[in-house]
């Protein structure tokens, strides 16, 4: 939680807080008086106890001032982050902790062979790149075997190392934890930070008098920002984050991604007179101009009303836009149905017709190909639904223990669980989903199912409002939310119910982008059961007929609908695209086990194409 937010909360009980921090002080009118932040008696330090400025303090002897979080840090000799952690404990606030991936193992680089910068390297940095010598010392830039060494330090520990050999050769230590460069130069009580695109840009900002951090893997999107997970808590205390990315395509992509993940309300985008901070320094841009750029940095605020002329390029691009999104695990659906970022899909079906099995199969297939998924399955025991997905991904009814564990390890980091059984409050679900999206970059959220979200059966208004909130979340965070829903009970199960049969408010299907129905071919099952019981031959009309239908009733993006026959394998709970197809592992070839598994199925042609290596068709 941001420091200023915590300070505001502490201000609601300002007197209790200052009595604890400065116990030797005394009340004087509407202020608490003390001799200093160390707590001795006196009158030079005053803390406002009431009103809009509750918690604001000033020490007239030293000139220091601030808010209650700053006073907490000063009185106890803590860093800002430590003070925030203690204040959260005091207030009884807990950050979300339930979405934790399996811990990863990282290598720690060695300091062996690191030496002070020799004159040629130091001169290149100070003369050509114009970095101040004091900056090189502050960031502890050294050398090793003729390479410039940029040490990634956190709390004094060497986390990662990047190298540059002149003129332009780069490398970095392998398998190190993603970490921001420059923590060693940052004031532990700072409320504002600059994030630059490269190490030299961070050094340039510091030379201008503004300590800065650098992202470890440059600009871009997606995998470039794995550091957000490991640095999320450390950055949480900052009231303002200034993004100083390069003025180019990758830099603009990084801004869009990081604004969403670090918090739109506190991230300010810096526009510089040259491509980056070091280019400004080399071009002789004055310090005041850089300060102006920093103070003029703007948030990417939502703007509801804009002139259509701003969208000229976007309008023209729509003429050439290709459908994009995550594909389903059947080739024949690829050109028809997509799970697109920014959209919400509804997956309905009669009780027992396979809604959970189909959505688990879809989620498992995408996760196996690298899509980050979060599953909120509140109808089944945690171990049960996880085992069923594991079996689907394994592609065999009875995997060996070694193979089942291998599948789990492959999925680790790609499947996260909203760990609640029974009903969960809709507000809490949204909070956790938003946290998971921003911290872990979740691309697909599966909610199974709507009736388990704390609503009464007849609370149609509440259900509608929640689906609307989920749709807003998907759009704002550019992720996809799949919601499983029940159908109203009809006269029988011999035919699909249709879009109008979704249980609850009719407005639910209006708000979502895609409506899908799973129907189990009960007439075929009954015909087979009768034939088996009587010994009579099965009517030829059932031979080769599908076991289930996936029916698309609505797709807002392209207007396409359609019915797709599926064939069910009970051992693996796979849904296959044709009667001749056989279940097989959903793992990509490079993730498949090198040891024997219990059953190895033959792959149908449809599966060969259904799981492309890029997992998301463009």
DSSP states of 426-448 = HHHHHHHHHHHHHHH---EEEEE
| Contact (Cβ atoms closer than 8 angstroms) between residue 448 and residue 379 | yes
The superfamily CATH assigns to domain 3-91 is Zinc finger, CHC2-typedomain (3.90.580.10)
How many C-beta atoms lie closer than 10 Å to residue 424's C-beta? 18
Cis peptide before 449 (omega within 30 of 0): yes
CA distance from start to end of the chain: 37
Cis peptide before 194 (omega within 30 of 0): no
- DSSP annotation of 522 reads H
CATH 3.40.1360.10 domain residues, the chain: 119-299
Q: In sequence order, what are the beta bridge partners of 244?
A: 196
Work out whether strand 562-569 and strand 574-576 pair parallel, antiparallel, or are unpaired: antiparallel
pLDDT the model gives residue 19: 94
pLDDT the model gives residue 613: 36
Judged on CB neighbours under 10 Å (0-12, 13-18, 19+), 508 is buried
How many C-beta atoms lie closer than 10 Å to residue 79's C-beta? 15
CATH 3.90.580.10 domain residues, the chain: 3-91
| Contact (Cβ atoms closer than 8 angstroms) between residue 601 and residue 395 | yes
State the Cα–Cα distance between residues 328 and 444, nearest whole angstrom.
12
Assigned CATH topology for domain 325-617: Rossmann fold (3.40.50)
pLDDT the model gives residue 601: 41
| Contact (Cβ atoms closer than 8 angstroms) between residue 215 and residue 180 | yes
State the Cα–Cα distance between residues 604 and 576, nearest whole angstrom.
9
State the Cα–Cα distance between residues 457 and 203, nearest whole angstrom.
60
Work out whether strand 45-48 and strand 57-59 pair parallel, antiparallel, or are unpaired: antiparallel
pLDDT the model gives residue 421: 63
pLDDT the model gives residue 608: 37
Sheet with 373-377, edge to edge strand ranges: 415-417, 373-377, 444-448, 480-486, 344-349, 514-520, 548-555, 562-569, 574-576
Work out whether strand 415-417 and strand 373-377 pair parallel, antiparallel, or are unpaired: parallel
**What's the average pLDDT block by block, 10 residues per block, for the chain (618 residues)?**
88 93 93 92 93 92 92 93 91 66 80 96 98 98 97 96 95 94 95 96 98 94 88 92 94 92 93 96 97 93 73 88 88 94 95 94 95 91 91 93 93 90 78 94 94 83 92 95 88 86 84 95 90 86 91 94 95 94 90 64 39 39
| Contact (Cβ atoms closer than 8 angstroms) between residue 193 and residue 243 | no
State the Cα–Cα distance between residues 49 and 14, nearest whole angstrom.
6
CATH 3.40.50.300 domain residues, the chain: 325-617
Assigned CATH topology for domain 119-299: Dna Topoisomerase Vi A Subunit; Chain: A, domain 2 (3.40.1360)
pTM: 0.61
Q: Which long-range contacts (CB under 8 A, 24 or more apart) does 595-601 make?
A: 595/400, 595/402, 595/403, 595/406, 596/400, 597/394, 597/396, 597/399, 597/400, 597/403, 598/396, 598/397, 598/398, 598/399, 598/400, 598/403, 599/396, 599/397, 599/398, 599/399, 600/396, 601/395, 601/396, 601/572
Dihedral, 279, 280, 281, 284 alpha carbons, nearest 10: 120
For residue 73, give the nearest of 25, 24, 37 by alpha carbon.
37
CA distances from 363 to 60, 446, 463 (A): 61, 8, 24
State the Cα–Cα distance between residues 500 and 482, nearest whole angstrom.
18
């Amino acid at each position: 939680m941001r420091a200023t937010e915590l300070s505001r909360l502490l201000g609601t009980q300002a007197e209790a807080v200052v009595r604890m921090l400065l116990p030797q002080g005394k009340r004087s009118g509407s202020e608490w008086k003390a001799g200093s932040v160390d707590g001795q008696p006196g009158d030079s330090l005053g803390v406002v106890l009431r009103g809009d400025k509750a918690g604001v303090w000033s020490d007239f002897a030293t000139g220091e001032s601030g808010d209650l979080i700053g006073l907490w840090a000063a009185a106890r000799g803590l860093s800002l982050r430590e003070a925030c952690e203690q204040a959260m404990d005091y207030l009884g606030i807990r950050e979300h902790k339930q979405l934790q991936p399996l811990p990863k193992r990282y290598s720690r680089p060695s300091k062996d062979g690191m030496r002070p910068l020799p004159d040629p390297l130091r001169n290149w940095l100070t003369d050509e790149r114009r970095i101040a010598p004091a900056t090189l010392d502050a960031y502890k830039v050294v050398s090793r075997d003729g390479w410039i060494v940029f040490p990634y330090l956190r709390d004094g520990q060497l986390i990662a190392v990047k190298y540059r050999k002149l003129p332009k050769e780069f490398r970095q230590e392998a398998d190190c934890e993603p970490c921001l460069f420059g923590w060693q130069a940052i004031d532990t009580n700072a409320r504002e930070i600059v994030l630059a695109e490269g190490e030299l840009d961070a050094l340039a900002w510091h030379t201008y008098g503004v300590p800065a951090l650098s992202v470890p893997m440059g600009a871009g999107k997606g995998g470039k920002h794995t550091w957000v997970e490991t640095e999320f808590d450390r950055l949480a205390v900052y009231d303002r984050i200034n993004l100083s990315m390069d003025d180019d395509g990758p830099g603009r992509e990084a801004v869009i991604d990081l604004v969403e993940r670090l918090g739109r309300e506190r991230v300010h985008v810096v526009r510089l007179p040259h491509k980056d901070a070091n280019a400004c320094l080399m071009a002789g841009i004055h310090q005041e101009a850089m300060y102006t750029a920093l103070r003029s940095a703007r948030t990417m605020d939502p703007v509801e009303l804009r002139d259509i002329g701003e969208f000229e390029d976007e309008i023209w691009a729509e003429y050439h836009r290709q459908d994009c999104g995550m594909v389903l695990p059947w080739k024949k659906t690829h050109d028809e149905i997509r799970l697109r970022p920014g959209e919400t899909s509804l997956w309905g079906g009669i009780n027992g017709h396979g809604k959970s099995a189909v959505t688990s199969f879809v989620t498992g297939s995408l996760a196996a190909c690298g899509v980050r998924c979060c599953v909120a399955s509140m109808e089944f025991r945690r171990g049960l639904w996880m085992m069923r997905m594991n079996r689907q991904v394994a592609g065999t009814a009875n995997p060996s223990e070694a193979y089942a564990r291998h599948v789990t390890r492959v999925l680790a980091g790609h499947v996260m669980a909203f760990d609640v059984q029974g009903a969960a409050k809709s507000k809490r679900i949204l909070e956790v989903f938003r946290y998971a999206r921003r911290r872990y970059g979740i691309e697909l959220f599966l909610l199974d199912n709507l009736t388990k979200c704390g609503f009464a059966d007849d609370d149609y208004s509440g259900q509608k409002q929640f689906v609307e909130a989920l749709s807003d979340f998907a759009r704002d965070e550019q992720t996809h939310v799949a919601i499983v829903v029940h159908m109203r009970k009809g006269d029988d199960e011999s035919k699909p119910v249709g879009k109008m049969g979704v249980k609850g408010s009719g407005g639910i299907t209006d708000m979502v982008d895609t409506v899908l129905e799973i129907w189990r071919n009960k007439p075929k099952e009954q015909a087979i059961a009768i034939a088996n019981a009587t010994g009579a031959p099965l009517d030829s009309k059932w031979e080769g007929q599908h076991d289930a239908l996936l029916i698309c009733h609505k797709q807002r993006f392209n207007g396409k609908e359609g019915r797709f026959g599926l064939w069910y394998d009970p051992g693996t709970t796979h849904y296959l695209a044709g009667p001749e197809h056989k279940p097989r592992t959903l793992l990509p070839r490079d993730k498949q086990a090198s040891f024997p598994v219990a059953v190895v199925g033959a792959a149908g042609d449809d599966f060969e194409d259904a799981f492309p290596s890029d997992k998301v068709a463009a």
